[in-house]
Structure 1
Amino acid sequence: MSATPKPYFQETIGVDMRPLYKRFLPLLPEGARILDAGCGADRDLRAFRNLGYAAIGFDASPTLVALARQHAGDPVHCLTFQSMTWQATFHGIWACASLLHVPRAALGDSLRRLSTTLLPGGILYASFKYGSGERAKDGRTFTDLDEAKLACLLIVQPLLAPLEVWTTADRRPDRDHERWLNVLLRKAAPQA
């Protein structure tokens, strides 16, 4: 995470994400358990809890975790994708603009770890800046994905089947020129 999480917190806390929630939440049971993986400013975690979901979150940035706890008081854990230990716990995982900070070489392992935390039939939402490169900016790694790179990544994730893939503009003011790749994945049920 960059050395400047406070501006990121202020820039993202008020962004209206309801159009994305409308694609994700109807796929979950009422009162579902949701993991906000890389919860950052706590915006989505709070929204899910206010809508009646049992949501918990984690982020790798101790500063963002402290800001999120201070802002809303929700339980937020300081973890990385590699240090998660939940097993078949969640109906849904919300990984909004978080997996994009995982280096490409570790992205498959992070997806595998997330899939183990999902219940069979569970839903994973993830978003990436649209592109095909990997870069560093302000001390953070960015792994961009397009449809082809996503398809290659999912070949080695047999338990995660794509339900929907689409692109959107950035929802932050003055960023509508930036594109995002969004994906909804369903964890396969165990075969009898």
Structure 2
Amino acid sequence: MSISYYNANADAYFNDTVGANVNSLRERFLAHVPPGGHILDAGCGSGRDARAFAKAGYQVTAFDASAEMVKRAAAYTGLDVRHMTFADMAWTEEFNGIWACATLLHVPRDELGSTFARFTRALRRGGAWYLSVKHGTDDRVVGERTFTDLIEQEMQKRLEDAGLSVADLWVTDDVRPGRADRWVNTVAVRIE
């Protein structure tokens, strides 16, 4: 459902998000990733963050579930962006860091446990995972997209259940002008 929305609205979504200033979020994440480390941008959308990480000297792997967003991200970043979903993730201890900015918000609540497990498995021990979702407790359908909102306590419990230690957890306003959304942001570290 949500993937078809991004395929149909790829240009508008690209234009709406590519210039969003998330520098402070990236800085908080990169404080936990070694210089030049391997970062996975999971659900990379426009490729905004994958491009920033690559320019900063990190090794970057990026993917998105929307074929149309993959085309735009590949053109924007110059990277070989993969077309795949979270369910396709089969990496084991591959990444020093995983960036999932505003992407897991479309995963149904009953699939979060298995999804979090795949992300944890893909991290090297000591690796850091940044993720953000909309703040709240609802499971919503807005237009052609589904949303799973989380509050801080549920986010922390789910991450700990997945074998991660929460290193940083904070709530922010949407950085895009005219948006009233609040976001739960987390950096969690693989401890096992």
Q: Name 2:93's counterpart in structure 1.
A: 88
SS of 2:176 mapped into structure 1: coil
Q: How does 1:146-157 map to 2 (within 5 A)?
A: 146-157=151-162
Q: Name 2:171's counterpart in structure 1.
A: 167
SS of 2:31 mapped into structure 1: helix
Amino acid of the structure 2 residue aligned with 1:168:
T
Q: Name 1:71's counterpart in structure 2.
A: 76
Q: Is the 8 Å Cα contact of residues 159 and 188 (structure 2) preserved in structure 1?
A: no
Aligned residues: 187
- Which runs of 5 or more residues in structure 2 are unaligned? none
SS of 2:156 mapped into structure 1: helix
Q: Name 1:178's counterpart in structure 2.
A: 181
Q: TM-score, normalised by structure 1?
A: 0.93
The structure-2 alpha-carbon separation of the partners of 1:26 and 1:155, relative to structure 1 and needing over 3 Å to count, comes to: closer
Amino acid of the structure 2 residue aligned with 1:184:
V
Q: Does 1:110 align with 2:115?
A: yes
Q: TM-score, normalised by structure 2?
A: 0.93
- Which runs of 5 or more residues in structure 1 are unaligned? none
1:26-48: CA deviations, max 9, x gaps?
21111010000100000000000
Determine the C-alpha separation between the residues in 2 that align with 1:48 and 1:40: 14
Q: Does 1:188 align with 2:183?
A: no
Amino acid of the structure 2 residue aligned with 1:151:
Q
Q: Is the 8 Å Cα contact of residues 50 and 77 (structure 2) preserved in structure 1?
A: no
Of residues 130, 135, 139, the one that matches 1:130 is 135
Q: Percent identity?
A: 42
Aligned-pair distance for 1:122?
A: 0.4
Determine the C-alpha separation between the residues in 2 that align with 1:43 and 1:22: 14
Q: Name 1:35's counterpart in structure 2.
A: 40
Amino acid of the structure 2 residue aligned with 1:47:
A
Of residues 22, 29, 32, the one that matches 1:24 is 29
Determine the C-alpha separation between the residues in 2 that align with 1:138 and 1:65: 22
Amino acid of the structure 1 residue aligned with 2:101:
C
The structure-2 alpha-carbon separation of the partners of 1:151 and 1:28, relative to structure 1 and needing over 3 Å to count, comes to: closer
Determine the C-alpha separation between the residues in 2 that align with 1:151 and 1:127: 12
Determine the C-alpha separation between the residues in 2 that align with 1:44 and 1:114: 18
Determine the C-alpha separation between the residues in 1 that align with 2:10 and 2:136: 24
SS of 1:21 mapped into structure 2: helix
SS of 1:27 mapped into structure 2: coil
- Aligned CA RMSD, in angstroms, stands at 1.2
